[in-house]
């Protein structure tokens, strides 16, 4: 598997450009109102903790996660470990946010300290320490490397992400880092939460907000990681970009009074009198593939009439050019 040889197709290139344009628009309206910025960051931090923990099996709901973090409450029927996982991840997010502001590359200390925060009060014997024995991952299509190779592999990955990958778009670089870290599996436990924190650290250092992998996309996420094991990063990169687009759209919808109104695809197709020429199934497929500006909440895809118009207009232009 040549994890350093990454191919980006034309559709993904356009998607990356769309994300860059949205980020640039957000930067143009800065400085952001303090109240709005605090509200957005607090909401994303809460969702980040809830979704990342839920992917790993934590059963606290989003509302219960909020009660634990903001009100210090204990939720009846939930284990002490689940409460600790929530507080730990929240502390780790705060650390990642502070490191993202520093003008220095991500270091091995950041990896170990983030992991230590993730497992604090849970598995103190293993927190912040690379594994010293073999592990197997249920449902994965690979076996992580021998423990004796872990330090060198992590060192190689850190050197690559800091010194050798500057030619890649930051979303591509962070996606490859994400997969390679999971493949190395440097810790006995907490690898998933740790890598989703570090992956976002790389993005936040470039001015992007965190890209939150949703719990509803858990199966798609693991399938994408398995495909990346065979050298195919397309699914994982698409998932990363869609997660990022959702976060960017949250900023834009809160900051721009002229922002386009995102609606469920079904609603747009049924309510609009515009002659799209496409049904909701086809437009949903375009959203899932990242072809049009869209994001997902739960199991529902949202887009705008402007995004569909742009796609239809582009298709018609191609037909005219092709005769």
pLDDT digits (tens, 9 = 90+) for 200-241: 999 999 999 999 999 999 999 999 999 999 999 999 999 999
Q: What is the mean pLDDT of the chain?
A: 89
Q: 245-248: list long-range contacts, CB under 8 Å, 24+ apart.
A: 245/18, 245/19, 245/22, 245/290, 245/293, 245/294, 245/295, 246/211, 246/212, 246/295, 246/296, 246/297, 247/44, 247/208, 247/209, 247/210, 247/211, 247/212, 248/19, 248/22, 248/23, 248/26, 248/208, 248/209
The C-alpha R_g of the chain, in whole angstroms, comes to: 20
Sign of the alpha-carbon torsion through 177, 180, 185, 191: positive
pLDDT value of residue 87: 97
pLDDT value of residue 125: 87
36-94: per-residue pLDDT in tens? 788 899 999 999 999 999 999 999 999 999 999 998 899 999 999 999 999 999 999 99
99-136: per-residue pLDDT in tens? 999 889 999 999 999 999 999 999 988 999 999 998 88
* In the block, residue with structure tokens 């079904």: 266
Mean of pLDDT values over 143-163:
95
Could you confirm whether 185 is annotated as catalytic? Answer: yes
Strands (E), 247-293: 263-264
CA 42 to chain centre: 17
Residue ranges of the alpha helices (H) in 101-149?
Answer: 108-118
In the chain, % helix, strand, coil (3-state, to 5) comes to 60, 5, 35
Sign of the alpha-carbon torsion through 55, 66, 178, 245: positive
Tell me if residue 238 falls in helix, strand or coil: helix
Residue 298: band (very low, low, confident or very high) from pLDDT cuts 50, 70, 90? confident
Domains of the chain: 33-255 (1.10.3290.10), 263-321 (no CATH)
Catalytic annotation, pick one of 115, 159, 185, 309: 185
Predicted TM-score (pTM) of this structure: 0.84
Q: In what order do the strands lie in the sheet with 300-303?
A: 263-264, 300-303, 294-297
């Amino acid at each position: 598997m040549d994890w350093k040889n990454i191919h980006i197709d034309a559709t993904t290139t356009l998607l990356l450009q769309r994300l860059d344009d949205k980020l640039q628009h957000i930067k143009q309206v800065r400085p952001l109102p303090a109240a709005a910025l605090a509200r957005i960051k607090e909401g994303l931090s809460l969702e980040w903790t809830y979704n990342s923990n839920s992917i790993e099996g934590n059963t606290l709901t989003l509302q219960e996660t909020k009660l634990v973090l903001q009100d210090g409450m204990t939720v009846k029927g939930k284990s002490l470990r689940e409460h600790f996982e929530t507080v730990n991840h929240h502390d780790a997010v705060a650390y990642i946010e502070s490191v993202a502001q520093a003008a220095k590359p991500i270091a091995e200390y950041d990896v170990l300290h983030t992991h230590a925060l993730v497992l604090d009060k849970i598995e103190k014997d293993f927190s912040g320490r690379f594994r010293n024995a073999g592990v197997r991952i249920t449902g994965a299509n690979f076996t992580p490397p021998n423990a004796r190779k872990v330090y060198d592999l992590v060192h190689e990955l850190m050197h690559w992400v800091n010194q050798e990958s500057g030619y890649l778009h930051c979303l591509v670089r962070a996606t490859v880092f994400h997969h390679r870290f999971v493949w190395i599996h440097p810790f006995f436990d907490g690898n998933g939460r740790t890598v989703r924190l570090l992956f976002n650290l790389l993005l936040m250092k470039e001015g992007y907000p965190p890209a939150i992998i949703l719990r509803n996309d858990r199966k798609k996420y693991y399938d994408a990681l398995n495909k990346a094991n065979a050298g195919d990063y397309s699914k994982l990169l698409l998932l990363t970009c869609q997660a990022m687009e959702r976060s960017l759209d949250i900023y834009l919808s809160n900051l721009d009074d002229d922002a386009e109104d995102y609606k469920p695809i079904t609603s747009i197709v049924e309510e609009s009198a515009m002659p799209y020429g496409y049904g909701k199934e086809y437009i949903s497929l375009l959203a899932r593939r990242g072809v049009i500006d869209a994001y997902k909440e739960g199991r529902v895809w949202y887009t705008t009439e402007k995004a569909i118009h742009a796609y239809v207009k582009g298709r018609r232009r191609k037909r005219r050019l092709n005769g």
